[in-house]
A and B are shown apart, each in its own frame.
Chain A
Amino acid sequence: MYPIESVEALNDEVTRMVVRAPDIARKIRPGQFIMLRIDERGERIPLTMNDCDPEAGTVTIVFQAVGATTMRLATLKAGDALLDFVGPLGNPTELEGARRACVVGGGLGTAIAYPQAKWLRDHGCEVDVITGFRTADLIIMEDEIEAVASRSIVMTDDGSNGNKGVVTEPLQRWIDEGAGYDLVLAVGPVIMMKFVAKTTEPHGIRTLVSLNPLMIDGTGMCGGCRVKVGGEYLHACVDGPDFDGHLVDYDDAMRRGVMYRGYEGSAREAMAKRLASEARDCDVAAGLRAADGGACGAAGDGGRARRAARGRITLDAATEAQLAAMEPEKAKKVRAALEAKAAREAAAAAAERAERAGAGQSAADADDASAARAAGAGGAAGAGRAARLARADEGRGE
Chain B
Amino acid sequence: MAKMVNYNRQGYKTPMPVLDPAERAHTFAEVSLGYNAERAVNEARRCIQCNSRPCVAGCPVGVPVREFVGHIARRDFPAAYAAVKDANALPAICGRVCPQESQCEGVCMRGRKGEAVGIGRLERFIADWAEEHPDEAARALAERRAAHLAARADAAGAAADAEEITPLGGKAVPVIPPGTDLSAFRVAVVGSGPASLTCAGELAKAGASVTVFEALHAVGGVLTYGIPEFRLPKSLVAREVAAIEELGVTFEVNAVVGKLFDIDELMGERGFDAVFVATGAGLPSYLGIEGEGLNGVCVANELLTRVNLMRAYEYPEYETPVFAGQRCVVVGGGNVAMDAARTARRLGADVTVVYRRSREEMPARREEIRHAEEEGIRFATLTNPVRLIGDDAGWLTGVEVVDMELGEPDDSGRRRPHEVAGSNHVISCDMFVISIGNKTNPLIAQTTPGLDTTPRNLIVVDEETCATSVPGVFAGGDAVSGAATVILAMGAGKRAAAGIAAYLNPEGPAAGLAEAEVAGLELVAEEAVVEAEAAEEAAPSGVPAEERAAVDEEAALAAALVAAGIAPDVAARAAAAALIEGAKG
Establish whether residues A42 and B319, one from each chain, have CB atoms under 8 Å apart when the complex forms: yes
Establish whether residues B259 and A87, one from each chain, have CB atoms under 8 Å apart when the complex forms: yes
Establish whether residues B305 and A216, one from each chain, have CB atoms under 8 Å apart when the complex forms: yes
Q: Give min CB distance, B287 to chain A, whole Å.
A: 11
Tell whether A165 is near chain B: CB-to-CB under 8 Å: no
Contacts of A326 in B (CB 8 A): none
When A221-B225, A228-B293, A233-B292 are in contact, do A87 and B284 touch as well, CB less than 8 Å? no
Tell whether B211 is near chain A: CB-to-CB under 8 Å: no
When A85-B254, A216-B310, A219-B282 are in contact, do A41 and B299 touch as well, CB less than 8 Å? no
* Stretch of A98-106, A254-262, A351-359, A364-372 on the interface side: A254-262
Alpha-carbon distance between A256 and B291 when the two chains are bound, in angstroms: 12
Alpha-carbon distance between A41 and B310 when the two chains are bound, in angstroms: 8
Contacts of A217 in B (CB 8 A): 216, 225, 305, 309
Contacts of B323 in A (CB 8 A): 259-260, 263
When A84-B253, A221-B283 are in contact, do A259 and B259 touch as well, CB less than 8 Å? no
Contacts of B451 in A (CB 8 A): none
Establish whether residues B321 and A260, one from each chain, have CB atoms under 8 Å apart when the complex forms: yes
Contacts of A85 in B (CB 8 A): 254
Establish whether residues B301 and A88, one from each chain, have CB atoms under 8 Å apart when the complex forms: no
Candidates B261, B301, B317; contact of A41 at CB < 8 Å: B317
Q: Give min CB distance, A220 to chain B, whole Å.
A: 5
Contacts of B142 in A (CB 8 A): none
Alpha-carbon distance between A37 and B315 when the two chains are bound, in angstroms: 16
Tell whether A238 is near chain B: CB-to-CB under 8 Å: yes
Q: Give min CB distance, B2 to chain A, whole Å.
A: 49
Alpha-carbon distance between A217 and B217 when the two chains are bound, in angstroms: 9
Establish whether residues A219 and B292, one from each chain, have CB atoms under 8 Å apart when the complex forms: no
Tell whether A68 is near chain B: CB-to-CB under 8 Å: yes
A209-225 interface bits toward B, Cβ cutoff 8 Å, 1 = contact, 0 = none: 00000001101111110
Tell whether B256 is near chain A: CB-to-CB under 8 Å: yes
Tell whether B564 is near chain A: CB-to-CB under 8 Å: no
Tell whether B394 is near chain A: CB-to-CB under 8 Å: yes
Give the interface centre of A69, A83, A86, A87 by most chain B CB atoms within 10 Å.
A86
Contacts of B321 in A (CB 8 A): 260, 263, 267
Q: Give min CB distance, B281 to chain A, whole Å.
A: 10
Establish whether residues B441 and A219, one from each chain, have CB atoms under 8 Å apart when the complex forms: yes
Tell me the nearest residue of chain B to A253, going by C-beta.
Answer: B293
Contacts of B319 in A (CB 8 A): 41-43, 68-69, 267
Candidates B253, B302, B443; contact of A222 at CB < 8 Å: B302
Tell me the nearest residue of chain A to B301, going by C-beta.
Answer: A222
Q: Give min CB distance, B478 to chain A, whole Å.
A: 12
Establish whether residues B299 and A222, one from each chain, have CB atoms under 8 Å apart when the complex forms: yes
Which B residues lie at the A interface, using CB under 8 A?
A: 215-217, 225, 253-256, 259-261, 282-284, 286, 292-296, 298-299, 301-302, 305-306, 309-311, 315-321, 323, 393-394, 434, 441, 443
Give the interface centre of A23, A24, A43, A228 by most chain B CB atoms within 10 Å.
A43
Contacts of A249 in B (CB 8 A): 293
Q: What are 15 inter-chain pairs, A to B, with CB distance below 8 A?
A: A23-B255, A27-B261, A41-B317, A69-B319, A216-B310, A217-B225, A219-B256, A219-B441, A220-B283, A222-B284, A222-B302, A223-B284, A223-B286, A223-B434, A226-B293
Establish whether residues B306 and A233, one from each chain, have CB atoms under 8 Å apart when the complex forms: no
Q: Give min CB distance, A242 to chain B, whole Å.
A: 16
Alpha-carbon distance between A323 and B33 when the two chains are bound, in angstroms: 64
Main secondary structure on B side of the interface with A: loop
Establish whether residues A224 and B217, one from each chain, have CB atoms under 8 Å apart when the complex forms: no
Count residues on chain A whose CB falls below 8 Å from chain B CBs: 40
Q: Give min CB distance, A126 to chain B, whole Å.
A: 31
Q: Give min CB distance, B78 to chain A, whole Å.
A: 36
When A224-B302, A255-B293, A259-B295 are in contact, do A219 and B260 touch as well, CB less than 8 Å? no
Tell me the nearest residue of chain B to A270, going by C-beta.
Answer: B316
Tell whether A44 is near chain B: CB-to-CB under 8 Å: yes
Alpha-carbon distance between A86 and B254 when the two chains are bound, in angstroms: 5
Contacts of A216 in B (CB 8 A): 302, 305-306, 309-310, 320
When A217-B225, A221-B301, A267-B316 are in contact, do A23 and B261 touch as well, CB less than 8 Å? yes
Within 8 A of B (CB), among A250-287: 252, 255-256, 258-260, 263, 267, 270
Establish whether residues B256 and A87, one from each chain, have CB atoms under 8 Å apart when the complex forms: yes
Q: Give min CB distance, A17 to chain B, whole Å.
A: 17
Tell me the nearest residue of chain A to B434, going by C-beta.
Answer: A223
Contacts of B216 in A (CB 8 A): 86, 217, 219
Tell whether A89 is near chain B: CB-to-CB under 8 Å: yes
Establish whether residues A233 and B293, one from each chain, have CB atoms under 8 Å apart when the complex forms: yes
Alpha-carbon distance between A27 and B258 when the two chains are bound, in angstroms: 11
Contacts of A267 in B (CB 8 A): 316, 319, 321
Contacts of B311 in A (CB 8 A): 41
Q: Give min CB distance, A250 to chain B, whole Å.
A: 12
Establish whether residues B260 and A24, one from each chain, have CB atoms under 8 Å apart when the complex forms: yes
Contacts A86-B215, A220-B443, A223-B302 aside, 19 further interface pairs with beta carbons under 8 A come to: A27-B261, A41-B317, A44-B217, A83-B217, A86-B254, A86-B256, A87-B256, A216-B306, A219-B282, A221-B441, A222-B301, A222-B306, A223-B298, A223-B299, A224-B298, A238-B443, A256-B394, A260-B321, A267-B316
Q: Give min CB distance, B311 to chain A, whole Å.
A: 8
Contacts of A219 in B (CB 8 A): 215-216, 256, 282, 441
Establish whether residues A44 and B259, one from each chain, have CB atoms under 8 Å apart when the complex forms: no
Contacts of B298 in A (CB 8 A): 223-224
Tell me the nearest residue of chain A to B321, going by C-beta.
Answer: A263
A35-67 interface bits toward B, Cβ cutoff 8 Å, 1 = contact, 0 = none: 001000111100000000000000000000000
